[in-house]
Every structure is written in structure tokens, then in C-alpha cells.
Amino acid sequence: MELKTYFQAYENYFWEWKTDEDVPGDSGYHENNLLSIPGVGAIAYRPYVMEVLKELQPQGWPPFGALLMVLYAMQEGYTDFAGPLRKTSDLYTIGNFEFNAEKEIEFLEKIKQLPPVYKQKQNRIILLQTLFKNVHNRLSSVNAENYLRIYYKRPQELAVCAEKQHAGPTILNRDLNALDLNEKFPTVQSIIDAMKGLVEEPELNDELIQEETTANPDQDFIRELTEEPKTFQVGSLIKRIWSGLKIPMRHLSPGEQPIGGISDMTNKGDFNRMLLSEFANEDEVFINRVANNEALYIQREIPPEENLFERIILIDTSLRNWGTPKVLAFASAIAVIKHPKAHSECKVFALGQAALPVSLDKVEEVIENLNQVSPVLEVSEALEKFFNEDHPEKDLEIFFITHQENIVDEKVQKVIHQNRDRLKFLVTTTSDGEINFYKHHKGARKHIQKIKLPLQELWANPPKQKLKPEIYNGKKTDLPQNYPILFPVPVNKIDQFLYEGEFFILSSKKQLLKTYLSDNYYDRHSYDYYKTYHGCEVLFEEISIKPKGRFALAKNRQQHFIVCQYQPDKKLISKLNINTKEYFEQNVTGLNIPASYDLIYFGKSFYLHDPENPILYKINIEGNIAVETIADKDPEIEKNNAKAAAEVAKLHKSGLKIINNFNKIGINENHNLVISGNELSNIYENALNFYKNRAGMKIFAEQNKNKFTFPDGSEIITDSRGMLTFRSSNKSIEEFYIPSTAYGFLCLSTSTEFGGSEYYLPEHTLLKVKTMDEMYSRFLKAFIGQILDYGA
């Protein structure tokens, strides 16, 4: 599916593109800036829809029509989604295709009935993420990211999408399937329950906090953080930060000021506020006290007022603030929130691509939010939006916690300067444990204090806590479809294809994979096996296909992948739409096709072809199977097929042996990691390899399905497709990945950095390339060291 296909409008459909000339569009393109239901009303403006898609990108996009109808159902007031859906379903019910939208309308009614709090601001995004998680026919996260990039570069391409095309029943079927969620969400309450992991019940929030405060005071919460291996580093810093913190913890509104006693007296004031006791003095003494400003007056008579003061803490989660600075940032935030003298309301937001509200009242919430990392390098856009759009009110005291390097960034500096009157405190952190506090007062920034934390001393004795038995629930840990690096190409393949200059592989595990060869594989000076061949990304899994016969691959007009299969023994031709799962087959026994014929693709059609035979059998790509006999062969078919076969032949050596049977994982006496009897070692300079382990084992990890957990809480998650994910209990060590390939040089990668064999480097990537020695020392060696230090 291409960008244009995803946003394509269709004739007689329940949504369309329109232009509102009074409202300028985003990205400099002002046409087609409104999405609307024909004859009913507006759904949303294009800039807002694009922001929603940007938030949904990490989990992939649902079909566009389904998303629009849910957004429309979220609107307050009168909405009519039943009429347009029924009308479209009636128009598209033809032949064997019969559509009934009643189930989808019933589901949208549940969205309509949700309390407004669940459909506002950030909760709206959380609701969409909950509804469309793992939905049918969704667009992958990788493709969604590419489409966003294309849109912001060339938004004018949407003009083509606005021109309505004729749509087949498949289009409506795709949208309706994505909205058929009644089984998953049988009631309105079930939707709310599904969101609870992301958003608290507003009615119960205050009661819960009150109960927990009584049973678990802040001191107990800090102790819980310190006793949990995953939050130990944060918890161990808080009391040390408390001991040096000099910022005001309690602000008094006029209503909280004293209204009696000595503190309410002054030497200046009106006669009507003078204390009666002053008039008891003799005249000379009385006049003397008044003249010398010694007489006492009542300071004020202001009735108590409500304290409107509200404190907000913004935590930078950009790439620069990863690791130790992020641990310091969360420790500083919790120190301010849980300070014994803090009585003001405090809200926390994680700043990345947007400002996301987070809660730090429970250990589980701290663990979850410590894993938040945004792909942006700096957060000036989110910070500016927070001040200008999200919270324009003045009665706030805002803390911004970020890395020291970020405040010298020009964009961040500009936003801070423009909002210095509202940004009361600026807190900066460094990797060596330094925290600096600044205060903005009357337009100037003043350095209040510097706290230098002895990290090595504070983190020297991590807690020795047994793993909780409930962790082992018998469920397999979820795996992503792809990683920041490529998978190794499997040795066993059903077939491999060249389509429009790109290489695809149908693996024996019934996956459709995409791979590529280096641009420089004709350069003898840089010719190397691991540079010429590259790994693969997974496009589709669990493809319903029999692994026998001949195959060909192409895309239809909707840019769906079509696999055509010919089984000579059964004289059966079949086509499978991998995206929609549509399947067609036809028996061609009557055509008497010889067994020597192969299946190929050429010029928007499939062909059964034999180089020695002039007769061709043409098979269409779109719709039902139709086979046409062609007596005169086009010479270009022969030339094209020869070239394609030569190119595909280059993939024959690209497969690698993958370690996929994971049983025992641990650390041996050489202090190296051992995976299923293979030792992971860097014997050669700037290289990482698996070798047969010959050393005794020192520490074993405990297995729960595909997750292996070490005594300190560090985890390795295995993926039988050939990937290992490492999550250290030390949150300053970023999550990283290593492929599980039995032979050849490996790589080590995080979400931002890469080192090792270029075989695993994606063709289009933003990963920063480092040396393997540096990556090994910073990540794998540190990961193993954390486990060994725990057992020392």
C-alpha cells in the first residue's frame, strides 16, 4: 500500500476530502484540508488527523475509513454515522458480496456513550491506541513512518487522493472488519477497562490516592523504589536529593496566611486598624509611638482564599536525555513531588514528540515510564506547544528537567527564553551525577544550587530480591514485527522474487521478507560477503499457502501483495491477496499445460512460461482468476525473465544458519554470555561472534517461555526468527539487540546506534554507526557486569 492508496477517497463512500477556504492547511498545502461525511458534516481537519496518525505510528495505522468513523463517533452533540454506513453498505452489496454494517454501528454507539473524559485531549489518543491495537488490515509501523515522512515532504500529493475512484467491495470490507470490535469490546465498560493500563478512572482517582497515602506514606514509597531492582537507581537518589534541595516546597496563598497573633501585626497602617491597646497609653507616649512608627496595627482583614497554585513538572524523554541523565531526571521529579514539605498539587508530563501525562505514584508506573524514550533529538516543538496550546494559563509553576547539553540548543533556548516568566525552575542533569537548579525571576535566570551525587557509592549495593512468582504466567512475551536492525535471512526458502527492482523472499516459515543487496557489490575493493548481502525485514507472517509448486509475486492496483501459485501435479492455479487474505483458485486440467512450464511475472500480469515453447498462458492480477492462451510470445518476456532470473540468483548465498532453539542462557566462567551452548565473544578486533562454549557456567537465567530473567532482574527476550533483545535492570543501559546467527560476524544495536556487520544495517536508517568495540563495552559488557555485580 502506498501513501496515495491509504488516503484515497472513493465514489459513493461514507467519507470524502473537502476544502475549507477559511482555514489554512498545514505543511503549506491549503487544498483538501477537511475530512467530511457527504451530506452530514465535518469529521476533522487534516492537520489534526495527521497528528493522530503520528501518535498511532508506533503500533501501525488502522484502515483510514475506520479511523475516521471512530473520530466522528467521539464528537459531542449530534452525530449520524449509522445513515452513511448503511447507505454505503447497500450500494456496495453486489453479486456475492453482501454487506451489513449493523455490528459496526453498534460498536460506534459504544464509543458515543463513553464518558467525555475518555474522549478528550491525550485520553483520546489512548482510546484510539486501545481500540486499534492489532486490528485487522492495519498498516505496519515501518510503512506508517515512511508515509508520514513523504506526506510532510510532499503534502500536495493528497490532491490525487481527493479525486474519487471506483472502489471494489474489498475496500469497504477492509474498513468494516476494522470496526467489527463488538466481540473484543462487548460493553462500554469493557472499553474503559481496556484503557485502565494507560489512564486512571477519574472518579476513583482521588479516593485511591487518599487510601494509599494513609497506608503507604511517601517514605514507604521511596523504600519500595529502593527495594525493587528495576527502580533501585531512582529510589536510592531521592533522599540524597532531599538533603540538598533548596527550592520552596510550600507556597501560601493569601487565604493560608496567618489571620491572628503577632505575625499579623505591623508598624504601619490606618488609624482604624490600630490596636486598641495603643490608645491606653498616655498622650505623650501615644504620639511618640505613632511618630516613631512604633504603634502596632492589624496588618489586614482579608478572608481566607482557595489556594490556586499548581505545580507542573516536564521531563525531557528525547534521545539526548537517555541513560543516567534520565534516571536523575525521574529521581529529581519524584524528590520534588514526594518531598515531606510539599503540599501543592503536582502534575508530571513526559516531553517527546508531544507532552504525555504520566503518573509516578506507584512502583509499576515508575518502571513503565522509565522506559519511555522519544525518537526526537530535542523537544523544543513539544515544549512550545505545551506553553502555547496545552497550558496557556498563568497560575502555574513549571519545572523543566533536561540534559545539560539541551539548554545550549538554539531551538530549546528560544522556547525557554520566550516562556521564562512561566517557566519558574529549570533543572539540568549530566551523566556523571550532577544536578543544577536554576530559577527564572523577573526575566533573568539565576543559578540556585548544584547537587553532585556520588553515583558509584549510591548504586554500589543493588537489592537482592527474589523474582516474584506471578511474573511467570505461562504467556509468551510479545515480540515486534521488526527491530531497528534486519533479521538474518533464513536458509530455508519456498521461493525468492525480484519485483520492480526489489528483492522478496517467501520463507519456509510462511513469511514474506524483503531484502536488498549493497549498491557497491561491483566494487572489488569493498567486496565483502557481509557488505554485499544484507538481512531482511518481515512484511507479513503466517501466510496461508502450501509450500509446493511454482510461485510469482506482484502488487495489484491497491498495492496489495498478490502471490500466484501453480501446482502442476494438481493442475491448479491460485492467487492469494496477502493483505486482505482474499483467495481465488482455478483448475486448468483442460488446457493440457506441460509440466515444464514455470510461473513468472511480466508487465502487470502473471504467465505460465516455457522458454522452449511459443505458447503462453496469461493470468490476470486483479479479481477472479482468468487464464488466457497466447500463441505469439512477446520477445521482451524472454529477455526480462532472463534478467530477473540472473538477479534473483544473487540471493542464493544470502541465507544464514539461525540459532532459534533457545534453552539454556547464562554467563560462563569467562564472563561471557552463553546462548544455547554458544558463547558470545569478541575475540577479534571490532567483531562479535558466537562460538562453541567450552567453559563452565557461572550464572543461569530463569526461563519463562521466550523470556530469560537473571537474578538481578535483567532480561533477555528471544525471537526464533533470529533476534535477541537485552533489557538490563540498570536503566542507564539502553535496551539493545543482537542477532542470533550461528556463523559470521554479528552486530549490536540500540534504537539509535549501531555497530558491527553491515549485513544487519537497514537500507534506509537513521542509526549512528559506531565501532563494535565501543558498542560492546558500553552495552553488552555493562549488561554482564550488572549481573555479576549483583551476585558478588
Residues 291 and 383 in one domain: no
Residues 156 and 177 in one domain: yes
Residues 327 and 447 in one domain: yes
Position 710 in a domain: yes
Residues 39 and 129 in one domain: yes
Position 483 in a domain: no
Mean pLDDT value across the chain: 82
Q: pLDDT confidence of 484, banded at 50, 70, 90?
A: very high
Residues 441 and 554 in one domain: no
Structure-model confidence comparison of residues 223 and 563, the more confident one:
563
pLDDT at 672: 93
pLDDT at 653: 72
pLDDT at 410: 84
Of 650, 676, 709, the one marking the end of a domain is: 650
Q: pLDDT confidence of 620, banded at 50, 70, 90?
A: very high
Position 475 in a domain: no
User: For residue 767, what is its C-alpha cell?
Assistant: 542509526
User: For residue 428, what is its C-alpha cell?
Assistant: 539540568
Q: Using one digit for the tens of pLDDT, what is the confidence trace for 680-724?
A: 998 888 889 999 998 899 999 998 889 999 988 899 999 999 999
What is the rounded distance in angstroms from the CA atom of residue 212 to the CA atom of residue 600? Answer: 67
Position 45 in a domain: yes
User: For residue 217, what is its C-alpha cell?
Assistant: 506514606
Residues 70 and 186 in one domain: yes
Position 484 in a domain: no
pLDDT at 205: 35
Structure-model confidence comparison of residues 54 and 272, the more confident one:
54
pLDDT at 303: 44
Q: Using one digit for the tens of pLDDT, what is the confidence trace for 125-142?
A: 888 888 888 887 888 888
Least confident range from 176-180, 268-272, 586-590, 765-769: namely: 268-272
Which H or E run includes 458?
helix 455-458
Position 474 in a domain: no
Count how many Cα atoms sit within 13 Å of the Cα of residue 303 in the half-sphere of its side chain.
1
What is the rounded distance in angstroms from the CA atom of residue 601 to the CA atom of residue 621? Answer: 10
pLDDT at 176: 86
pLDDT at 299: 65
Residues 243 and 264 in one domain: no
Structure-model confidence comparison of residues 608 and 197, the more confident one:
608
pLDDT at 163: 87
pLDDT at 573: 93
Of 399, 432, 458, the one marking the end of a domain is: 458
Region 507-524 average pLDDT: 76
Residues 244 and 263 in one domain: no
Q: pLDDT confidence of 467, banded at 50, 70, 90?
A: very low
pLDDT at 26: 56
pLDDT at 530: 45
CATH classification of the domain holding 314: 3.40.50
pLDDT at 753: 94
Least confident range from 182-186, 240-244, 686-690: namely: 240-244
The domain in which residue 504 lies consists of 493-650
**Domains identified in the chain, total number:** 5
Max avg pLDDT among 67-71, 215-219, 354-358:
67-71
pLDDT at 218: 57
Residues 15 and 146 in one domain: yes
Which H or E run includes 44?
strand 41-45
Least confident range from 35-39, 71-75, 351-355: namely: 351-355
Position 64 in a domain: yes
Which residues, at least 6 apart from 614, have a Cβ–Cβ distance to it below 8 Å? Answer: 631, 632, 633
CB 34 within 8 A of CB 49: no
pLDDT at 422: 78
Confidence (pTM): 0.48
Question: What φ, ψ does residue 314 adopt, rounded to 5°?
Answer: -110, 120
pLDDT at 774: 92
What is the rounded distance in angstroms from the CA atom of residue 207 to the CA atom of residue 202? Answer: 10
pLDDT at 519: 63
Residues 385 and 446 in one domain: yes
CB 490 within 8 A of CB 658: yes
At 154, the amino acid letter reads R
pLDDT at 489: 93
Locate the DSSP E strands across 669-743.
Answer: 673-675, 678-681, 689-692, 697-700, 702-704, 707-709, 715-719, 723-727, 736-739
User: For residue 489, what is its C-alpha cell?
Assistant: 535471512
Residues 64 and 168 in one domain: yes
pLDDT at 203 over 50: no
What is the rounded distance in angstroms from the CA atom of residue 778 to the CA atom of residue 785? Answer: 11
What is the rounded distance in angstroms from the CA atom of residue 248 to the CA atom of residue 636? Answer: 80
Residues 239 and 271 in one domain: no
Structure-model confidence comparison of residues 380 and 203, the more confident one:
380
Position 498 in a domain: yes
pLDDT at 667: 94
User: For residue 17, what is its C-alpha cell?
Assistant: 476530502
